Amino acid sequence: MNDILTTLDRLRRPPLLIRAARIGASEYRRAPHLRRHLGYGALPRSGQALVQLVEVEAELERDRKQRAAGYSAARHVDVLIAMMGEARLLRATRLESVS
C-alpha cells in the first residue's frame, strides 16, 4: 500500500480543486462518502478504498481535461475529499502498527 500513498503524493491537480478538498477533508465521514462513490455494501479497508477512489478520480480528471459535458467539479472535489480522508486513515493505521 505504500505505492498507493506514493501515487497520491505525486498527484498533481489544479490548486483550486485541492484547496476545496482540503477544506472539506476536515468533515470527512467514511461511510457516507465511500458509499456515495463506491456503492453500497461492506466498506473496503482504507487501502483498497483508496485504490478504487484513485480509479474514479482518474476518470473525473480525464473528463475535466476533455471538458466533458457530464463533468462535475463538485463530484471531483468530493472524490478528492474521500481520497484525502482515506489516505489520512491509512497513514494513521500505519503509525499505530509501528508503535
Domain count, the chain: 1
Q: How confident is the prediction for the chain on average, in pLDDT? A: 88
Per-residue pLDDT band at 98 (split at 50, 70, 90) = low
| Helices and strands counted in the chain (H then E) | 5, 0
DSSP-derived secondary structure letter, 40: S
C-alpha 59/C-alpha 96 separation (Å) is: 33
- pLDDT-based confidence at 10, cuts 50/70/90? confident
pLDDT of residue 30: 92
Query: Domain limits at 17?
Result: 2-98
Report pLDDT digits (tens) over 27-74. 999 999 999 999 888 899 988 999 999 999 999 999 999 999 999 999
pLDDT of residue 23: 95
- Matching residue, cell 465521514: 29
